[in-house]
Structures are given as structure tokens and as C-alpha cells.
Chains A and B, each alone.
Chain A
Amino acid sequence: MTSQQTTLGEGATTAEELAEGQREISIAEFFEKNKHMLGFDSGARGLVTAVKEAVDNALDATEEAGIRPDIYVEIREVGDYYRLVVEDNGPGITKEQLPKVFGKLLYGSRFHKREQSRGQQGIGISAAVLYSQLTSGKPAKITSRTEGSAQAEYFELIIDTDTNEPEIGTAETTSWDRSHGTRIELEMEANMRARNQLHDYIKHTAVVNPHARIELREPGLDEPLKFERATDQLPAETEEIRPHPHGVELGTLIKMLDATDSYSVSGFMQEEFTRVGKKTADSVLDSFRDRHFGRELGWPARNGAPSADVAAAIEGALREAVSNKGADATDTFAERIANSLTERERTTYSQLVDIVATVADEVGTDTGKTFGATVRENAVAAAWGELTKFGAGDAADNGEDADLDRLTPTLYELVDDATSTRKDDAAVHGLAERLAERFVALGDDDEPNRMRLTLDDLTTLVHEAADTTEEYDDETFGDTARENVVEALWSRMVTVPDDPPNVNEIAGDRDTASELLEAMRETDILSPPTDCLAPITAELVEAGLRKEYDADFYAASTRDAEVHGGDPFVVEAGIAYGGEIPADGNVDLLRFANRVPLVYQRGACATTNVVKRIGWRNYGLDQPGGSGMPSGPAVISIHVASTNVPFTSESKDALASVPEIEDEIELAIREAARELKSYLNKRRSMAKRREKQDVLGRILPQMAEKVAEVTGRQHPDIEGAMARIMNNVGVDRERDGESVTLRVENHSDRSESLEITEIVSAEPEGLPDGVEPIEMDGEWFVNWHPEVGSGETVELEYSLPTDADADATVDGVDDEKLTVNA
């Protein structure tokens, strides 16, 4: 800034000079200084990230071309550097694209698409190229062969960090043994300290891409790690979709409104969003009207005082409002309107306008008189005046009806229903009256009072009325009571028929656009289509686990698609348990986003948070302290597929904590965990049974020997007794909180019909139809008659307070064959 001082006095030239000093920072240059953001912060990590980016690219390229991926990864020590080679059998890249794909940051076909893919920003592989260039000074060596071409193309490529442009050093044709595919060779400063992460990454990639064949060679391995294909089925091809109404933000919405060709909001909604048809657009519009215009409160045509005949009063007012139409026409007109009003439960201003118009047309046709706009307006005003008559009017006008108040009784009923019965009656009446006063005071002087309010205004109005009532009537109206009153009023109010503003008006007014956005968010809309996503599917999640983990049990689940931020996403979970999985320490958590394993920053990841907050003891896994990572011989895998996976940072190591996604992750895990639980329960009951056989096999001979000793006889033959015990029917009780399960297991070789009588000390609930508890002296008797086939298990479930006792007796099976543990 020294130059600034010297030129300060010379005015205009200062800015010019300053501008000369500023220049564009290229993205490549920026990232050179921010390597850590892309996962290249150390030599160890840089190597893993480079492998990751190259493999992700290779998988995407092959899948897009419908080819089953066959990927080869090699790491070799070359002097002070490491050389990374990644080969795929993809379609190859054309000569024109090649330097851009590998050499230019932010070049990618996917950044603007709503479609699931591994990479999204087009940063990854070029960052790897950049990293190798910066650390070793060597160019990236790329070989590519497109299908059918006789020769492969070979390039040496570096990135000009000033201009973000690739420079091709060597370009020649070469021969290559693959018939099509791409090979990239990078030399970089690195080390193998992150060998475990590297192996994890490759292994997990194989788990989540069971259709891929992957081979890894690196200096620490005696022979290459090979992961064979578990399925020939490629992931479903993905489609690009329009945004979902639940996921756009205000800025995006305004941009879309500006850009659209549609005139009406309804057209805009149907044209620009996925899952919006006429019906959905209409409900969005109704909700938008409620926010933009407010709703109208309707009033019944009813008697405010015992002596007043409301129908007559309305008729009278209407006759006075209509002039010069002849007695017959006027009478018919007034009578029909009055009738239709008294027949209706409630009528709003807009509805009244409609009714008057309809009746005016009808009567006009019948009598030949024309009821013009002025007459209609007068009629509406007269009838509305009667419907909403509120005592304050002056006595001269209303004569003996001076105190007639049609509003308060209506509001009183409503408030009385909405608030608790303990409220003082006078106070409820007071609140109703104050609400009425405020409704009457609505509207401008030169406009009729349509009693139209938005939800916000209504809430304010109710609060004011309640505050005043609290002050004068000495009764509290708490938040819940007020909310109930607002809710009751709002639900009785009716959406207005006014035409909503058109697209241009909305685009020009931020507040209106925000009302539209809110309306979109509040409306129930189908989840976005899932053809833009390629979930692995539950079977293949399981197949992937089965391939890489030798376990006793596998379970997997796939959730339905949900939306966050306009992007649909699908969560899948899998669990493998037992077998060769190490039993000590925490379970392994495999995290995947769009089929890419996440290796670093496990602690910061939403998936980890969700796993930790689940109570795993319920599902049969150990969890020290009841929260945190569960322990035991298990592997949990979680896959989040989305058109836009929210990561915590550009290096894409951890999923951000988005509540919608976390909820789905939890549900997916719980779904798989429930299967695990029932497997473990079964295993435990088998173990119990085995233990029983062991223990009895030991105890009974000892007992026989002892009784023989005491009685002074020969050792008895106990084989018959043992055989009976070992081949039996078991009834076990399980109590988990209030839920009670009686599990009937038939281990005999024929089916059994049992009669189970449960005697409990409190009233049982949740019994299936046909099972009726019988009460006797404070005890309840419950009877079941389950049929249990040979080798089968039946569960009888109901709920019972935790402190209640329960005792089951079982009939229908020979006692010797029966083990009751209930």
C-alpha cells in the first residue's frame, strides 16, 4: 500500500492504480494453498485420496457406459516418490475432452444435474493431478482407448496453476492391451502410513460395489488384494429430475420464477417441479392464498336473542336494500337468500357474494327483472350486516334490537369447546365478546369488513383478546388455551377464492415469494421419484457384506426415498454379525455416500452420531454405558445415496448432520437391527436349550446316583427320563418394559396344540382379537390355544404394567415334554 500514500492526492488515478494490482486468482492456485480442503493435507492421506478419486472416477465412467467395472490399482515406490496407477475398462475418453477432465478444475458434467453420481464437483481427479504435479514436478501420464479404436492415446499433462488450463506436454498414440478403458499414472510425494485406510477403502468399495472387480497391488503386499465380482447386475441407470417443492430455497425459487415461461403459479408449479400435478398445485395454491390473503371467518344465520327471528331480520334488511324491482321479485330475492343462509352452517363474506350473485341471476331469469351490480352490492352489505350484527349499533337504527349480538354466542361456543372445562364461564364469555369486538373492528372504512385474517394476524388478535380478558376477568388463558382457540378459529375459517398473484408479481416481491415457498413446504407432496437414485438394494447390500465378511448372520434394509433440500435421498443399512468378525472392541462402521466409502473423519460423520445414539442393548449388542459405539463381532454398513450428498467439507469425508437424513439413517439401521435382534434371540434360546441339555445331562445321573445311595438300591436306568427331557416343548417368558412375550418352541417331532393360561395381577392389554381376559378376584386369566408345528416357534404378545406379576400354566402337552419357564 505504499503507492497509495504517494498517489492519494491525485484522486481518480488511485482506483485505477489499485485495480492494476488486483488480479484474478485461479482456482488451481487457490487449491494449491488449500490442499487440506480436498483431502491432500499429508503425504499419507494424499495417496489415499488420489486412489479414491481415481477409483471413483473409474467406477462412474464404467457404469455410465453400462460396463461391469474391472479396476486395477497399483502403487509402486519410485526413488523418493510413489507412483500410482489406476486402470479401468471404461469407454475411454475422447481426445478433446481428455485434458479437460483430468486437467481442469471444476470441469464436470454433473455439477448442474440432479442425479446421483459419485463425484459431483469435478474437482477430485484434477486435484490429484495437481497434487502429484506440485509434489513431484512430474506430469500426469494418461492413456485412453475408446472402444473400437485401433490405437490408444497417450498424454503427458500438467496444469498451469495461474490460468487453470491444462498443458499437454506429450501427445502420441501408443498400444495398450485393454480394448477400451483409461489409465492414469501419477507420481507424488507420499508414504504408506495410511495403509490401513487404503485397504479399508478398497475393501469397502468392493462391499458397496458388488458388481465391480477390483485389484490392488502395493509394496507392502506379497500378493495383490483381489476382490471378485459378487453380481453381474449393474446399478440401475439414473435419470435427471426436476427439483422437488420441499427442497428449494427462497433464492432458488425466485430465480426459477424469473426464468420460467409460465404465467400462472399453477402452471409454474406443474412445469418446473417434480411430483406436482394439477391437484397438488391446487393445494399449494390454497395454502398460498391462506398466507397471502388470509382466510375468512364465516357466521351462522342464527338468533342472537330469543325474540329475534334471524330469517325474518335478513329478509327485512334485504327488502330494504332492494328498490324498484317490484314487490314479487324483491320478496322472492330476499326470501331465497335468507333461506339459503339459514340452511348453511356458516357463511363467509365471499360465500355470501357468491350466493347473492346466484340468487340474483335465478330471480332475474324467473321474473325478468335485472339485479345489477349495485343492487347486489347493497344486498350483500345488508345480509352481511345482519349476519354479523354486533350490539354496538345505535338504538335509533335498530330499535329494540339495539343489544342484539350475533357474534358473541358463536364465538362463545367455539372458545368454550377449545378451552378446558375448568375455565370460569364468565371469563370465557368475556373472551368471546372481546374476540367479537376485534373481528368487528377489522377492515378499512371504505371497504366492507370481510373478516379476513392471516394466521399470524389471527394469532395476534387472539392474544390481544386473551390478554385483555386476563386483565379484567381474572382468569388465565395459557399458551395452550390460546393455541387451541387460534386452531379452532383457523380451522373454521375458509380459504378465499381470490385469484393468486401471477408469476411475475411473485418474482418481484420477496415477501410474496416467501409465502409461496412456505405454502410449498407445508403441502403434502409425494416423495421425489427414485429413478434419479441408484440405491444398492437390500439384497446387494447383503451380498456385498457376505462377500467380504465371513459372518454367521447378515441383514440389510433399504428405505424409501425422502427429500432434503430438494434432493431426494435413499438410505440403506446392512449388518453382519458373528463368524470371523473379531469380537473384541467396537463394531466396525462402514460409511458410504453414493457408493463411495468414507475413510476419514469418522467421528464427525452423521452416520457415526446416529449409530451412537441408538440403544444397541435392545438389539442384543453390547454397548458400554448404554450409549456410544456398540461393541461385539459386528459390522454395520450405511449407504446414503442422493443427488446431492451433504458433506461437512469439500474433501467429502463425513456426512453433515442433516436431521432428515439422520432420521432415515436411524430408521434404516433399526430395520436391519431388528432382524439381528430376532436372530440373536433365537441363538440365545438355542444356547439356553443346549445349556439345559448339558446341565441336565450332568445333574440327572448324579441325582439318580444319590437317590440310589440313600435308598440302598442299584443305580436306576434313567435313559427314558432323559429322552423325554431332551425332546420337548418349551414356553419361555420375556418381559421388556410393559411388553410381555410368551415364546412357545416346539422341539419335538410332531405338531402340538397347547392350552396356555396366563394368570396376571393387573389388567393385560394389547391382546389379539378373540383372546379375552377374565377377571376373578383381582386376577386376570388369559387363555391361548396356539398350534405349534414341529420345529416351529409361536410368540404370544401382550402388554402388562411392569410391576404386575404373571404366571403361566400350560396344558395339552405331556408334562414330561414340557419346559415352562414362565
Chain B
Amino acid sequence: MSTEDTTDAEAREQLIDLAAEFYDQFAAGEIPRMELPTRTKSNIEYDPEKSVWVYGDRKSTRTANSVSGARKLLKAAYTIEFLANQLDQDRSSTLRELYYLSESWDNEEAQFNGQDESNNLVEDLEIITGVTREDFHMRPEESGATLMGPLELREQTRRGEREIHCQLDVGEGGYQIPNNPDTIEFLDHDIDFVMCVETGGMRDRLIENGFDDEYNCLIVHLKGQPARATRRITKRLRDELGLPVLVFCDGDPWSYRIYGSVAYGSIKSAHLSEYLATPEAEYVGIRPQDIVDYDLPTDPLSDSDVNALESELDDPRFQTEFWEEQIELQLDIGKKAEQQALASRGLDFVTDTYLPERLEEMGVL
């Protein structure tokens, strides 16, 4: 997917081509259809060349031969027109705006029934045209997360270029990652490693304790399941600056999935794995092993936790020795712990003891 250099004109052409394909199908007396990779767990596979997980060969076809299929294709046609016009006029909009905007279309059948529907359709168009939604000038609602650390960059904003140092020029909140991080240019840095942190509480703890300063660490706040922009900038930090990337999450199955989407790519956006995933990212903790080693305060695993862990054992992305061992250990002890559980040993425990020990063990320090 040649994403970085897609110009507006090229993106627009891709969309028109898709519409033309529908047109040709009609003209040939065929039922209009589009073919998409099946977006399920069983249809993602490892691409050894690029070291990321991508969609496999299973395809599902969406045809106008059923009521719901025809409605989706009609909506696709309207959305194509909208996106093409948006590119033409050099405007942008959010996914949510697209959903509301559909209300103004003349055809009720083409209007979206919910935000999920419009989000999914934009993803479908991304997959088929090979153009990312950023290049369609579509952005998500919530902004990307934040960076804090010894990094100097230049951002291309609508109000001109800004040069920013992500430690010296920003407040406690850090540097806000823009929706399209490809508008950023890295200028200079003093970073030894990148640490992606799941929760805001832990991020603030690290900054309050001066961890970024002391260890020359760039702290990326993931804010739960990371947005595309966060994953994209992480990938670029690794690829362009050659920095080790570490992920620090809670010790529960949902957090492993967060790590999974940083490192291996998510199932929903496996078509963008090459562009978003950072296969070199390493998992710091909390590991089930840590729960045992540090005797952390825990919660029992709920039924859905157990199901999630079991489903991760089946997940091709987690079929490594490390994960199988950890997940089985967790199923065995039946417990989970949050990052904040480390505070049971004191507020400085995480920065003075836990992280230095873990990082040394992992060979980062």
C-alpha cells in the first residue's frame, strides 16, 4: 500500500475507479459487487517479509444480490461521491461528520443507520482502493494521544510550520499527536527508548517521577486501545529513528490486545498493518509473571477474562513462546493486576525498582 505519497488527485482517482468498476459491472449485465478480505481472526496471517500480520486469502463478496448488500453498495456510491468532492475542494471531515452528513443526502436508502456503519464503509473503501482514510481527508473524532520526552520535531499545521520540543516546549500534558502524523518531521532527539503506556495514571506517575528525564525515555500515552495516529507515530519512531519500542500495560487479556495492536496490527485494520504495526515493540509488563514475582494485589479473572485469554491462545498473533507461557500462567493463577497495583510497594517503586529491573532484564538498559 503506497500510502505516504498518495496525493489528493491520486486518492480521488482511486475512488472514481471503484465507481467505474460498478458502472462496468452494470453495463455488462452483471450484478455489482465488491470483494473484500474476510475480516476475522481466522483470516489474518503472518507476512514474514514485512514481519506484520495481514489479511489472508479468504474473501467475502458483497453483492447487490441481497437487500442489505444492495443498500451497502448504494451507500458506497454516495460515499465515493462525497469523498471525491471533499478531495476536490481540499476540505476534511470527521467520521462522525460523515455519518451526520449522510442525513442530507437526497436518498433515504443511502443514509447511514449508525456511526459503525459509516466507519466500516470507510474502512472497506480503504481496503479496496488502497488509500488510507487520512488521504481521503477523513479523521477520527478523538485526537491522538500525547508524547513526552527529549524529541524535537516539526509539524505542518494549517497555520504554518511549528517546531516543537516534546519536553521543553510543552506543558505537563505533553505534545498532542496530530490526526495525520505523516505531517511531522523528526528534527533531533536524545531518546534511548520509547515507552508506550496504557493508562493516564501511569503516564502521569512516570512524568511526575521524572522517568523521561532520568532515562532519556519518550513516553507515548496510548489511552487504552491506541488510535491509528498513535500507532503510526510509534512505527515511525522505530523505523526512522531506530529506537527500541516498549509497551507497558495492565496485566489483563485486554491489555495484551493493546500490545498486540501496537506490535502486530489489529484485526480490523490488518490492511494497514504494514503502515501501523511495530513488530519490534516489546512487552514490558504487567506480566502474569510479575504478579507472582512481586506478589501484586490482584482481582480474580472474570468469565469474560478467561474467554478472552483462551481466545488469545488461539490468536495467531499471540502464538509465541512468551505469550503462551504467560497466558497459561495467568489462567493457572486466575488473577489479573493493574499497572497501579505497583503502588502497593510505594509511589516510586515503579520508577526506582520495577522498570529498571525489567528493562535491564530485557537488555534495554
A binding-site residues for B, Cβ under 8 Å: 691-692, 695-696, 698-700, 702-704, 706-711, 713, 716-721, 723-725, 728, 777-779, 815-816, 818-821
Q: Are A700 and B81 in contact (CB-based, < 8 A)?
A: no
- With CB as the reference atom, state the residue of chain A lying closest to B26: A716
Inter-subunit contact B29/A713 (CB<8 Å): no
C-alpha gap A720/B73 in the complex (Å): 18
Kindly identify which residue among B25, B77, B80, B110 contacts A721, using a CB–CB cutoff of 8 Å: B25
5 new A-B contacts, CB < 8 A, other than A707-B77, A711-B19, A720-B28, are A699-B70, A700-B32, A711-B16, A724-B65, A815-B65
- B26 near A706 with CB under 8 A, answer no
- Provide the bound-state CA to CA distance between A821 and B67, in Å: 10
The residue in chain A whose Cβ has the minimal distance to the Cβ of B33 is A815
Known contacts A703-B64, A778-B314, A779-B42: A721-B30 contact under CB 8 Å: yes
Interchain residue pairs with CB less than 8 A apart (26): A695-B67, A696-B64, A696-B70, A699-B64, A699-B109, A700-B32, A700-B70, A702-B74, A703-B77, A706-B81, A706-B110, A707-B77, A711-B16, A711-B20, A716-B23, A721-B29, A721-B31, A725-B64, A725-B65, A778-B314, A815-B31, A815-B33, A816-B30, A816-B65, A818-B65, A819-B66
| 9 closest cross-chain pairs (CB), A and B | A720-B29, A706-B77, A716-B26, A710-B19, A716-B27, A703-B74, A707-B23, A707-B22, A707-B19
| Contacting residues, chain A, for B73 (C-beta < 8 A) | 703
Residues of A within 8 A of B70 (CB): 695-696, 699-700, 703
Chain B residues whose CB sits within 8 angstroms of the CB of A815 once the complex forms: 31, 33, 61, 63, 65
Name the one of A704, A710, A820, A821 contacting B16, with C-beta atoms under 8 angstroms.
Answer: A710
A709: B residues at CB distance < 8 A: 81
Contacts of B15 in A (CB 8 A): 710
State whether A724 and B31 are in contact (beta carbons under 8 Å apart), knowing that A691-B67, A696-B70, A703-B73 are contacts in the complex: yes
CB-CB contacts of B65-90 with A at 8 A, as 1s and 0s?
Answer: 11100110110011011001000000
Q: What mask results when residues 30 to 69 of chain B are scored 1 for a CB within 8 Å of chain A, else 0?
A: 1111000000001000000000000000000101111100
Chain B residues contacting A695 (CB-CB under 8 Å) are: 67, 70-71, 109
Per the bound structure, the CA–CA distance linking A416 and B77 in Å amounts to 75
Q: Check if B107 is an interface residue, CB within 8 A of chain A.
A: yes
Distance in Å from the Cβ of B293 to the closest Cβ of chain A?
A: 32
Of all chain B residues, the one with the shortest Cβ separation from A730 is B66
Residues of B within 8 A of A716 (CB): 23, 26-27
Q: How far is the CA of A821 from the CA of B78 in the complex (A)?
A: 24
Given that A698-B109, A702-B107, A777-B42 are contacting pairs, would A717 and B27 also be in contact in the complex, using a CB cutoff of 8 Å? yes
Chain B: CB-nearest residue to A726: B65
Q: Determine the residue in chain A with the shortest Cβ distance to B316.
A: A777
CA distance A673 to B122 in the complex (A): 47
Tell whether, in the assembled complex, residue B42 and residue A692 are in contact, meaning their CB atoms are under 8 Å apart. Answer: no
Partner of B67, one of A696, A713, A720, A820: A696
Given contacts A696-B70, A821-B66, contact A710 B31 (CB under 8 A): no
A710 to B125, CA, bound (A): 15
The minimal Cβ–Cβ distance linking A697 to chain B, given in whole angstroms, is 10
The CA-CA distance from A777 to B56 in the complex, in Å, is 16
Least CB distance, B79 to chain A, in whole angstroms: 10
* Cα-based distance from A199 to B213 in the complex (angstroms): 96
Q: How far is the CA of A793 from the CA of B241 in the complex (A)?
A: 64
Distance to closest chain A CB from B165 (angstroms):
46
Known: A721-B29, A721-B31. A703 touches B22 (CB 8 A): yes
Contacts of A718 in B (CB 8 A): 26
A716 and B63 alpha carbons, distance in the complex (Å): 18
| Contact surface of B with A, Cβ cutoff 8 Å | 15-16, 19-20, 22-23, 25-33, 42, 61, 63-67, 70-71, 73-74, 77-78, 80-81, 84, 107, 109-110, 314
A723–B26 alpha-carbon span in the complex (Å): 12
Q: A700-B70, A703-B73, A720-B30 are in contact. Are A710 and B107 (CB under 8 A)?
A: no
Q: A506 to B29, alpha carbons, bound, how many Å?
A: 90
CA distance A816 to B27 in the complex (A): 14
Interface pair A692/B66, CB less than 8 Å apart: yes
Chain A residues near B29 (CB, 8 Å)? 717, 719-721, 723-724
Chain B neighbourhood of A696, CB < 8 A: 64, 67, 70
Say whether B81 contacts A819, CB under 8 Å.
no
| Inter-subunit contact A717/B80 (CB<8 Å) | no
Q: Determine the distance from Cα of A704 to Cα of B29 in the docked complex, in whole angstroms.
A: 12
Chain B, residue nearest A713 (CB): B23
> A-B pairs with CB below 8 Å: how many?
102
In the complex, which residue of chain B has the Cβ closest to the Cβ of A724? Answer: B31
Chain A residues, Cβ within 8 Å of B33: 815
Given contacts A711-B23, A718-B26, contact A816 B31 (CB under 8 A): yes
Residues of B within 8 A of A777 (CB): 42, 314
Q: Which residues of B contact A692 (CB under 8 A)?
A: 66-67
Chain A residues contacting B31 (CB-CB under 8 Å) are 721, 724-725, 815-816
CB distance A819 to B65 under 8 Å? Answer: yes
CB-defined contacts of A724 to chain B, threshold 8 Å: 29-31, 65
CA distance A821 to B64 in the complex (A): 12
User: Is the Cβ of B84 less than 8 Å from the Cβ of A710?
Assistant: yes
Contact indicator B26/A704 (Cβ below 8 Å): yes
- Bound CA span A708–B23, Å: 7
Closest to B69 in A: A819
Q: Which of B20, B63, B64, B65 has the most CB of A within 10 A?
A: B65
**Which chain A positions have C-beta within 8 A of B77?**
703, 706-707, 710
Q: Given A699-B74, A703-B32, A711-B16, A721–B22 Cβ distance below 8 Å?
A: no
Distance between Cα atoms of A405 and B348 in the complex (Å): 79
Q: Give the CA-CA distance A417 to B226 in the complex, in Å.
A: 62
**Residue pair B32, A721 in contact (C-beta under 8 Å):** yes
A779 to B29, CA, bound (A): 37
Q: Give chain B residues whose Cβ lies under 8 Å from the Cβ of A819.
A: 65-66
Cβ contacts under 8 Å, A707 to chain B = 19-20, 22-23, 26, 77
Residues on the A chain within 8 Å of B23, using CB: 704, 707-708, 711, 713, 716
Closest A residue to B20 using CB positions: A711
Chain A proximity of B308: nearest CB distance (Å) = 15
In the complex, which residues of chain B have a beta carbon less than 8 angstroms from the beta carbon of A721? 25-26, 29-32, 64
CA A725 to CA B107, docked complex, whole Å: 22
| A706 B78 Cβ-Cβ under 8 A | yes
Given A724-B31, A725-B31, CB of A717 within 8 Å of CB of B26: yes
* Bound-complex Cα distance A706 to B22 (A): 10
Whether A728 touches B74, Cβ cut-off 8 Å, given contacts A703-B22, A710-B80, A716-B26, is no
Docked Cα-Cα span, A698 to B108, in Å, equals: 11
Bound together, the chains give a CA A720 to CA B27 distance in angstroms of: 8
Q: Which residue of A lies closest to B42 (CB)?
A: A779
Task: Kindly list chain B residues whose C-beta atoms are within 8 Å of the C-beta of A711.
Answer: 16, 19-20, 23
Residues in A neighbouring B25, C-beta threshold 8 A: 721
Nearest chain A residue, comparing its CB with the CB of B17? A711
Chain A hits for B22, CB < 8 A: 703, 707
Give the docked Cα–Cα distance between A821 and B109 (Å): 20
Closest Cβ neighbor of A697 among chain B residues: B70
Of the listed residues B32, B66, B110, the one surrounded by the most CB atoms of chain A closer than 10 A to its CB is: B66
Residues of B within 8 A of A723 (CB): 29
Which residues of chain A have C-beta atoms less than 8 A from B63's C-beta? 815
The smallest C-beta distance from A495 to any residue of chain B, in angstroms, reads 55
Q: Roughly how many angstroms separate A818 CA and B61 CA in the complex, as a whole number? A: 12
| Most chain B CB neighbours (cut-off 10 Å) among A698, A704, A708 | A704
Please, which residue of chain A has its CB at the minimum distance from the CB of B23?
A707
Closest to A706 in B: B77
> Closest B-chain residue to A710, C-beta based?
B19
- Cα(A779)–Cα(B80), bound, Å: 37
Complex contacts, A700 vs chain B, CB 8 Å:
32, 64, 70
The distance in angstroms between the C-alpha atoms of A716 and B21, with both chains bound, is 12
Name the residue of chain B whose CB is nearest to the CB of A708. Answer: B23
A490 to B30, CA, bound (A): 75
B159 shortest CB reach to chain A, Å: 33
Q: Which residues of A contact B81 (CB under 8 A)?
A: 706, 709-710
Complex: A716 Cα to B74 Cα, angstroms: 15
How far does the alpha carbon of A699 sit from the alpha carbon of B109 in the complex, in Å? Answer: 7
